[in-house]
Amino acid sequence: MKQKFDYNTTRDPLKLPEYGRSLQRMVDYMQTIEDRKERTRAARTIISIMAGMYPQTRDLEDFEHKLWDHLAIMTNFQLDVDAPYEMPTEEKLAEKPRRVPYTSRKIRFKHYGYLVEEIIKEIIRLEDGPAKEQAIEDLANQMKRQYLMWNRRQVSDEAIFKDLETLSQGALKVNRNIVLRSDKDLVIPMPPTGNRHSRRSKKRKK
């Protein structure tokens, strides 16, 4: 008698392959349970198993909600239990996400970003005095940091002062006696690349 082998190619395709065929069989069996309370209890057990398969994702937002959505998908959207969330429909999941419009806002210096321009507007509204001068100095340091992150070459304090005055359209004047923080204090150096073991080997050879 010729033996018949059970290959994956002859089986029904899995709805969500990442959970495996054994879990899909549990889902299929759960669907055959006639008593609703028992079916719901079985569904919750399956959800617990699914959560245990990917413990590293437990801290993600709406983690449990997504598991129930996956369970609904694995039942061909025929899940009929007392679920803690509204079950998705095939049509709902097939909807395309809402188109996010691109901003039409023009930024004078893109490496400083839009928020710097908004901060400048707020500083302009401040009354003249020490608090305003400190705010200007703090902003200048922040602009220098963002400039260095965009362009690793050095930048003079005077260049930052001129950019700040340009962005404020002359409404803010920077005290040329202030000294901005040094480049090394503003920018965190990148960690060394390469294999740690290989670096140790080179030190031993020396």
Query: What is the Cα–Cα distance from 54 to 64, expressed in whole angstroms?
Result: 12
**Tens of pLDDT along 138-194?**
999 999 988 888 876 788 899 999 999 999 998 998 988 988 988 777 766 555 555
| Burial class of residue 14, CB neighbours in 10 A (0-12, 13-18, 19+) | middle
Residue 56 is predicted with a pLDDT of 80
List the domain boundaries for the chain.
Answer: 13-92, 114-186
**Tens of pLDDT along 6-15?**
555 556 788 8
**Tens of pLDDT along 45-66?**
999 999 998 888 777 888 999 9
Neighbouring residues of 25: CB distance < 8 A, sequence distance ≥ 6: none
More confident site: 93 or 84: 84
Name the token pair of 84: 């803690």
**Tens of pLDDT along 14-27?**
889 989 999 999 99
Query: What is the Cα–Cα distance from 44 to 64, expressed in whole angstroms?
Result: 11
More confident site: 200 or 141: 141
**Tens of pLDDT along 96-147?**
777 776 666 677 777 888 888 899 999 999 999 999 999 999 999 999 988 8
Q: Is this structure's pTM higher than 0.85?
A: no
More confident site: 192 or 93: 93
What is the DSSP code string of 132-190?
HHHHHHHHHHHHHHHHHHH--S---HHHHHHHHHHHTTTS----TT--PPPHHHHSPPP
Buried-state track 124-155, b at ≥16 Cβ within 10 A, e below 16: eeeeeeeeebebbbebbbbbbbbbbeeeeeeb
Query: What is the Cα–Cα distance from 33 to 39, expressed in whole angstroms?
Result: 6
Mean of the per-residue pLDDT values of the chain: 83
